[in-house]
Amino acid sequence: MSNQLHDLLAAWKAGRDDTDWVLGTVYRTEGSAYRKAGAMMLIDGFGRHFGLLSGGCLEADILRHARKVMTTGEVAMLVYDGSDEDDWSFQLGIGCGGKVYIMLQPVRRENDLGLGELAAALASRVGGTYRLKLGSAEGSFEIAETPARVRATIETGTDGDWLVMPIRPEPHLLVVGGGVDARPLVAIAAELGWRVSLADPRSANAREAYFPRAAVILRELGDDLANYLQQARVDGVVIMSHNVAIDAEALRLCQSANLEYLALLGPRHRYRRVLEAAELDESQLALPVSAPAGLDIGGQLPESIALSILAECHAVLHRAGSLPALRLAAN
């Protein structure tokens, strides 16, 4: 299981009636910290935890406090100071040296802190805003297609302080081309917790046995792919069929999709051939195409190429930089 929020919530939904649960949330940090404000972890009565609030250093102590929360039903506010030699976290050997503020809230059948609504929204690949009241067992989720914030913030109101967190569904990546070199790309993206779909009209390619972690395998391009790009809320597309005609059709269909990332495998001169076959002019493209796909990290094998593509895609989808800026930095 990944540490993506939708996986944490899936574990909670599967066992929410079997035992007690506690929601742990980082609501503030000072200095260096492995996780930032908005990081969440769910803990059950069997001593299992789903997700991380540190690099693994604090989890055992957090579980100890979570058991008290389950017993008392009261919210616990924890502070770990990695710069204080007298602090418990310093004695645990935390290397970040920062201060982490964590809230532990009981999750009850009669008060799930809005986790049910949040889980349902993510299952439908819809984002929004999640709010938790500091020091209280209160929480709520509100659907919003485009969350207003990029990072979690603390808002002070007449009723107290609230941690306000923008929530986005996990990225959905579509890979066009199901050859051997697509296998590590699909596998690594799935390991990241992303939803991954695959499209290839050739019967010899994109076999389920070689892509067990692909959520969907499409066998038609054309209208089927165009509809899928819209309805399945695809965020990024990597075109890597090694066939100019297939690549050109996929590139053309992507122009009407609401994508944030689009990449084409192969050298620059091949990109120009694909553009010509698609009857597209680069100046008219809906968004910049990463061609050749990925950051230049010096790799040649499929695994390295997959890593370079996903690193670039991750940066764009998580707002760590625009494609032109990443390309400029890489050079």
Q: d(Cα 131, Cα 146) in Å, to the nearest integer?
A: 16
pLDDT in tens, 4-16: 899 999 999 999 9
In a domain, 82, yes or no: yes
Q: Are β-strands 236-239 and 261-264 bridged in parallel, bridged antiparallel, or unpaired?
A: parallel
Taken as a whole, the chain contains a residue count of: 331
CA 193 from chain center: how many Å? 6
pLDDT in tens, 223-279: 999 999 999 999 999 999 999 999 999 999 999 999 999 999 999 999 999 999 999
Final residue belonging to a domain, choices 167, 189, 223: 167
Final residue belonging to a domain, choices 167, 202, 233: 167
In a domain, 116, yes or no: yes
In a domain, 89, yes or no: yes
Inter-residue contact 2 to 192 (CB < 8 Å): yes
Instruction: Please check the confidence at residue 325 and state whether its pLDDT lies above 70.
Output: no
Q: Determine the pLDDT at residue 148.
A: 55
Percent of the chain with pLDDT over 90: 78
Q: Which residues pair with residue 107 across a beta bridge?
A: 21
The whole-number average pLDDT for the span 180-199 is 96
**Domain CATH number, residue 313:** 3.40.50.720
In a domain, 331, yes or no: no
In a domain, 218, yes or no: yes
Average pLDDT, the chain: 90
Q: Which helix (H) or strand (E) holds 5?
A: helix 5-15
Residue 160 CB: number of other CB atoms within 10 A? 12
Backbone angles phi, psi at 166, to 5 degrees: -75, 135
Q: Determine the pLDDT at residue 157.
A: 87
Q: How far is CA 109 from CA 8, 86, 115, 192, 324, in A?
A: 17, 39, 11, 30, 48
Q: Do 219 and 307 belong to one domain?
A: yes
Q: How far is CA 163 from CA 22, 28, 37, 166, 324, in A?
A: 17, 9, 9, 10, 33
On the question of a cis peptide bond just before residue 106, with omega within 30 degrees of 0, the verdict is: no
Q: Which residue has the tokens 């690549």?
A: 247
Could you list the residue range(s) of the whole structural domain that residue 127 is in?
5-167
Q: Which helix (H) or strand (E) holds 226?
A: helix 222-231
